[in-house]
A and B are shown apart, each in its own frame.
Chain A
Amino acid sequence: MKRIMCFMIIAVIACVNQAYAAKLIKVDGSSTVFPITEAVAEEFQKENSGIKVMVGISGTGGGFKRFGRGETDISDASRPIKSKEGDLARENNIEYIELPVAYDGLAVVVNPQNTWVSHLTVKELKKMWEPDAQETVTKWSQIRAGFPDKELRLYGAGTDSGTFDYFTEAICGKSGASRGDFTASEDDNVLVEGVSAEENGLGYFGLAYYEQNKDKLKLVAIDDENDANGKGPVAPAIDTVMDSTYQPLARPIFIYVSVQSAQKEEVAKFVEFYLAHAGQLVKEVGYIPLPDAAYQAALERFKKRVKGSVFGGKGAAIGVKIEDLLKRQK
């Protein structure tokens, strides 16, 4: 009852705001990008009273659906747009500009008392997490010869989070392909709590949560066995994500701006504000900023109204490096 009341009040406030605010910018999409957009919107509204920015969290897919029907001005996305989603937009005569805004890194962590793991290869992670591991891979010793014969206790993202989609795609090769017998939670704090209290535990979540809980966890370096991305295992950090040696668990995240909406003065102003301040705000909310040149390039792209996606509509792109991103943007 209380919850319903709460939502009703929020709804009423939202409606009232909608009625009174002179100008409204509607943003929806990924819950991963939400903290960044929300932070930018807050700053933006401080400087521009009279413009209201509403940010939703329908998920990347849900956001694109609404975007394609012309219900929103900007869509937050933790992966590039798929061709199906692009088609929907085209049917409704909506064109879009794709702008990368930050990097999101996933961290694989173990308990500080874990003495045997310092790095894992992508193959070993796959052995641990693939669907076939369910009920069969239960001991650390099954992962690598030399690991102790201790039970493997896994903690991972819940199926409804973008992190789950991305991790499974990057490690197991298919979005959603994961074993089911692990502690799954959409709340990253639960995962931190679980791994920090379990000598045999291993978990994965956004790098930002590791940064906040450094003292309770041990970071695992990842080796993708591709010497082009840095030789040997690489630990995730701001530098290694930025120089793209931490692969494949780092990804760019985007906003998509409707070309039609960009004609509105307030939307154009918001997007320019977004790209000018993202570098600072992204860091504050725990993500990794792109190099300044990338924000410059994105701003150019927006000003020239360069339409379409540089990723060819295949959805989640694994192993996209910053340099590639810059090159593709030109």
Chain B
Amino acid sequence: MFRKNKFQKLKEYLIEKLLFLFSLVSIFATVGIIAVLSFEAFAFFKEVSLLKFFTDTQWTPLFVKKHFGILPLLCGTLLTTLIAMLIALPVGLISAAYLSEYASEKARNIIKPVMEILAAIPTVVYGYFALLFVTPLLRKCIPGMSGFNSLSSGLVTGTMIIPLISSLSEDAFHAVPMGLREAGYALGSNRMQVSLRIVLPAAFSGVCAACVLAISRAMGETMIVAIAAGQQPRLTLNPLVPVETITAYIVQVIVSYKLRKHFQQVYE
């Protein structure tokens, strides 16, 4: 009896340590990424002053007149994110409210999986959709619009993150206790009032979490903007002209430079 107990204790101890090790993997990855980034950034800021980095309005590191102002790239990123959120937030929230408060069980079982398929489409497909379908369509309505612009890539990025918002917010709505709704109905509210004034405030933290996730997804989105937003860092709030986001710039530099290096290695 005693021996078995000791063995079990050892086993428990080992398992605990094993689990701890597994959780360390992601921590190490995070620390590694931060370390690499700060190391590279340190080297960069030895050459370029922080002041210039944040106040210069041009980004042309690859050309003769070098400027290292992050503002144009930052502006492009924020502009596409803003447009994406303007689409995704209302549409996502309204569809979440519909699914949770209005839809019949049957409708819900069909609509929810179909919406979630949107999230499974590779973003490169969205990118070509924006470039070859949405942009030509918009150009018919808005004359003078460029072939590459932040509007169409923002709209399409927004469409892509609708399921993220609707699905997460719907879960949050669903978690609101039935008693709260019943109390609302008992006081004579209609469905709209219950959804907007009782369920939404009660699920607010969940909805916020959904929004934060969606914003980070829109900001980090790479392929759509690399394909459809153009490749010209430009400090502008005009959604009709080509801009470049931070991620798109990284892609551009990597594709042109690193891929060639790879080929070189293969052939050597």
Contact = CB atoms under 8 A, between A and B. Distances in A.
Contacts of B58: 134-135, 180-181
Contact of A158 (B146, B256, B268): B256
Interface in A171-186: 176-186
Contact of B135 (A31, A183, A197): A197
A3 B262 CA distance: 10
A11 B267 CA distance: 8
A31, A62, A131, A198: most-surrounded residue (chain B CB, <10 A): A198
A147 to B, nearest CB: 17
A183 B62 contact: no
Contacts of B131: 193
Contact of B266 (A14, A62, A177, A186): A14
Contact of B65 (A134, A182, A198): A134
Interface in B129-169: 131, 135, 139, 144, 146-148
Contacts of A159: 62-63, 256
B234 A160 contact: no
B203 to A, nearest CB: 38
A37 B35 CA distance: 44
Contacts, number: 100
A59 interface: yes
Q: Is the interface of B mostly helix, strand, loop or mixed?
A: loop
A178 B66 CA distance: 11
A190 interface: yes
Contact of B231 (A66, A183, A197): A183
Interface stretch (A40-48, A50-58, A102-110, A303-311): A50-58
Interface in B251-268: 252, 255-257, 260, 262-268
A313 B131 CA distance: 45
B92 interface: no
Contacts of B233: 181
Interface in A202-241: none
Interface string A92-133: 000000000000000000000000000000000000000100
B99 to A, nearest CB: 35
B174 interface: no
A139 to B, nearest CB: 14
Nearest to B135: A197
A194 interface: yes
A199 interface: yes
B232 interface: yes
Contacts of B148: 183, 193-194, 197
B264 A56 contact: yes
Given A7-B265, A197-B147, 17 more contacts: A7-B266, A31-B260, A56-B267, A58-B260, A66-B268, A131-B64, A159-B256, A161-B256, A178-B63, A178-B64, A183-B230, A184-B62, A184-B232, A186-B256, A197-B148, A199-B144, A201-B146
Interface of A: 3, 7, 10-11, 14, 28, 31, 54, 56-59, 62, 66, 71, 131, 134-135, 153, 158-161, 176-186, 190, 193-194, 196-199, 201
